[in-house]
Amino acid sequence: MSSQPATGDVVGGVPHKDLATAIRVLAMDAVEAAKSGHPGMPMGMADVATVLFTQFLKFDPKRPDWADRDRFVLSAGHGSMLIYALLYLTGYEDIDLEQIKKFRQLGARTAGHPEYGMARGIEMTTGPLGQGIATAVGMALAERHLNARFGDALVDHHTYVIAGDGCLQEGVSHEAASLAGHLGLGRLIVLWDDNSISIDGPTNLSLSEDVKARFVAYGWDVQAVDGHDPVAVAAAIAQAKTTSTPSLIACRTTIGLGAPTKAGKNSSHGSPLGAAEIAGARAAYGWEHGPFEIPAPILDTWRQYGARGAAAAGAWDQRLAAADNSLGTAFKAAQSGDAPAELDTVIAAFKRATSEARPSVATRQASGNVLDAIFDVVPELISGSADLTGSNNTRTKGVVSLQRDKYEGRYIHYGVREHAMAAAMNGMALHGGLIPLSGTFLCFADYSRPAIRLGALMKQRVVHVMTHDSIGLGEDGPTHQPVEHMAALRAIPNLLVFRPADQVETAECWQLALQSKTRPSVLALTRQNLATLRVEHTDENLAAKGAYILREAEGGVAKVVLLATGSEVEIAVQARDVLQAEGVPTRVVSMPSWELFVEQGEAYQAQVLGGDDVVRVGVEAMVRMGWDRWIGPKGGFVGMPGFGESGPYKELYQHFGITVDGVVAAAKARL
């Protein structure tokens, strides 16, 4: 493999070498101007990216949200100048030369790592290694499912990924690659920047496995090419497009290609090259132009390639217009992402029936009951579980499993792959046309957390059903009893964390999760049965305020306010009855979502919480962290002092003092 740029003219007009060099010099110059960044990967993968964007990728810079475009994910997000250069060169309006010059500067669209929503053409936020390839699995899965629903005329595209050694080392990529191979996602093509370099030095410092053999074992088609040979790269991509399995193309490249002393070394990975090294690289490229200067013939040629997709987009418009009216209407509805109007009617009827019947059910079962009621009403819902279907109740009656070559199914068996599951759901949401939900235990939120955080950062509607939400799961013990997880999840910005108290609240939380188009949600649900507390029906979604007065004080202004979530609301209601009987006016506030309560403003919060002279007691079978915000200077807390124990759940509640007597005692101690 040559250590110099490729010279083949395989695309016509301007030589491939010059098109690829435009990417390299923009990357070098932007990183140098910022005095920060990662020039080596864009310099090494410029040949591969040029082949992809000029010969294969189906896109239209003038319509970056065209539904049937190919998806391109830069999983190796540290090399962000690669995608910024490509977006600028092909004519995306959000990235002009001024944005390139402002790389990594405050307020620029050209952030240190690609950020979804900051510039059209960026399909997802990348940077945490492995997240890109794992999320792309969800995109490819969404394409196959929607193709099965709407047909080739409307859904027929590929998902391409550029990934590095770090992406393929991170555990989430292993989970996701295994799932993709199992499902036969042949529209997924990963271009591996196989440069054998990591931050610390050569990858053989920490890696000795045969990566290609591993992907073969996952059921992928695997090829290996010289990443600086455009003819070979093009042939490999063409071959990958014919397979019925996902494809990995190992592109052997030189990091920092052309840099006189840093090419092929870790010194070109994450630091500016410096003026002398850049001058030497320019000489190696035969590039006689100044910083940020792209000659008109080269830029014009790139723009012509960018404009090529307009014809395909126009033809797709015609196919959509010609589609059967019901099919076209359903496709547009799916792409809009709006929850159907019928959802409100169904939820209201479900709540009324629950308030009348007053069942005692676990909220995990309540969630399953809600899904049974709404699943056909919201055809964009696609469900699944991490091998916990019977525990999570995420599979609705009559739903068909999604399997290899049976992509019309709406239930995904993710296997024991919580992290990949969460990432894939992000990909489905980003792709559009689907509302993904899945189930696992709340204690495994730790396994999903990086992808949950990324979903919140990208503002994606993804619903994480997480059951067995406290010591109430009982005998499985402290390894499975989540005590710190609510606090950890509540710490993630833009994430809605719901802990409903009964079946009515569970329905309201589902309604909110589906209507929240720019936020992911976690539903923390019980294993143990809970009484129906909302026995008087109202069409209003009371959980929408985050916290509300469930039982008002009687016999005067409230002297005690009991604040509780989930299964502990029932305990608080019983404690209120005791305090009221003893002449202490006591209010119970259910708090299914702290995040929504914060958004109501101080006036509403004061109305619900009462003044500083009121004794407030928080009740939650979790650690105290975060509760002091609500319980105030006189506040008490009844909850977990640390990890749980193994035993029947009723005995555990007694053991830890999360009882009616414990709540009453905490209130009286502060009166």
Give the per-residue pLDDT at 338: 95
pLDDT tens, residue by residue, 113-165 = 999 999 999 999 999 999 999 999 999 999 999 999 999 999 999 999 999 99
Is 289 one of the annotated binding-site residues?
A: no
pLDDT tens, residue by residue, 412-456 = 999 999 999 999 999 999 999 999 999 999 999 999 999 999 999
Three-state SS at 223: strand
Q: Based on the residue annotation, tell me whether 651 is a catalytic residue of this protein.
A: no
Gap between the Cα atoms of 196 and 203, Å rounded: 5
Q: Residue 258 corresponds to which amino acid?
A: G
% of the chain at pLDDT higher than 90 = 97
Burial 144-166 (b: 16+ CB within 10 A, else e): bbbbebbeebbbbbbbbbbbbbb
pLDDT tens, residue by residue, 602-634 = 999 999 999 889 999 999 999 999 999 999 877
Is 78 one of the annotated binding-site residues?
A: yes
Taking Cα atoms as reference points, which of 131, 160, 165 lies closest to residue 49? Answer: 160
Is 269 one of the annotated binding-site residues?
A: yes
Q: Are strands 529-530 and 361-362 parallel, antiparallel or unpaired?
A: antiparallel
Mean pLDDT of the residues in the chain? 96
Gap between the Cα atoms of 472 and 499, Å rounded: 13
The residues of the chain that CATH labels 3.40.50.970 are 10-315, 341-531
Other Cβ atoms within 10 Å of 493 Cβ, number = 9
Three-state SS at 112: coil
The CATH class, in words, for 341-531 is: alpha beta
Look up residue 388 and give its two tokens: 């916990």
Taking Cα atoms as reference points, which of 23, 22, 17 lies closest to residue 5? Answer: 17
Give the per-residue pLDDT at 12: 52
Three-state SS at 226: strand
Is 13 one of the annotated binding-site residues?
A: no
Gap between the Cα atoms of 564 and 151, Å rounded: 49
Give the per-residue pLDDT at 13: 81
Torsion of CA 372, 388, 134, 241, to 10 degrees: -70
Whether 11 shows a pLDDT value over 70: the answer reads: no
Gap between the Cα atoms of 385 and 585, Å rounded: 45
pLDDT tens, residue by residue, 480-527 = 999 999 999 999 999 999 999 999 999 999 999 999 999 999 999 999
Mutual angle of helices 342-357 and 503-515, in 10-degree steps: 170
Chain position carrying tokens 């040629």: 301
Gap between the Cα atoms of 151 and 159, Å rounded: 17
Taking Cα atoms as reference points, which of 431, 385, 442, 432 lies closest to residue 410? Answer: 385
Give the per-residue pLDDT at 612: 86
Is 364 one of the annotated binding-site residues?
A: yes
- In Å, how far are 44, 211, 356, 486 from 223, measured between CA atoms? 18, 12, 62, 45
Taking Cα atoms as reference points, which of 178, 63, 81, 76 lies closest to residue 121? Answer: 63
Is 16 one of the annotated binding-site residues?
A: no
Non-local CB neighbours of 324 within 8 Å, separated by 6+ positions: none
Gap between the Cα atoms of 242 and 228, Å rounded: 23
Give the per-residue pLDDT at 215: 98
Is 96 one of the annotated binding-site residues?
A: no
The neighbouring-strand residues paired with 548 are 590
Instruction: With cut-offs at 50, 70 and 90, classify the pLDDT of residue 6.
Output: very low
The CATH class, in words, for 543-669 is: alpha beta
Is 221 one of the annotated binding-site residues?
A: no
Whether 10 shows a pLDDT value over 80: the answer reads: no
pLDDT tens, residue by residue, 221-243 = 999 999 999 999 999 999 999 99
- In Å, how far are 173, 389, 440 from 421, measured between CA atoms? 11, 14, 10
pLDDT tens, residue by residue, 468-488 = 999 999 999 999 999 999 999
What superfamily in CATH does domain 10-315 come from?
Thiamin diphosphate (ThDP)-binding fold, Pyr/PP domains (3.40.50.970)
Whether 4 shows a pLDDT value over 90: the answer reads: no
Torsion of CA 132, 514, 158, 253, to 10 degrees: -10
Is 468 one of the annotated binding-site residues?
A: yes
Q: Read off the DSSP letter of residue 203.
A: G
Whether 7 shows a pLDDT value over 80: the answer reads: no
Catalytic residue among 170, 380, 418, 505: 418
pLDDT tens, residue by residue, 312-365 = 999 999 999 999 999 999 999 999 999 999 999 999 999 999 999 999 999 999
Gap between the Cα atoms of 266 and 255, Å rounded: 8
Whether 552 shows a pLDDT value over 60: the answer reads: yes
Q: Is 46 exposed, middle or buried (0-12, 13-18, 19+ CB in 10 A)?
A: buried
The residues of the chain that CATH labels 3.40.50.920 are 543-669
Whether 111 shows a pLDDT value over 70: the answer reads: yes
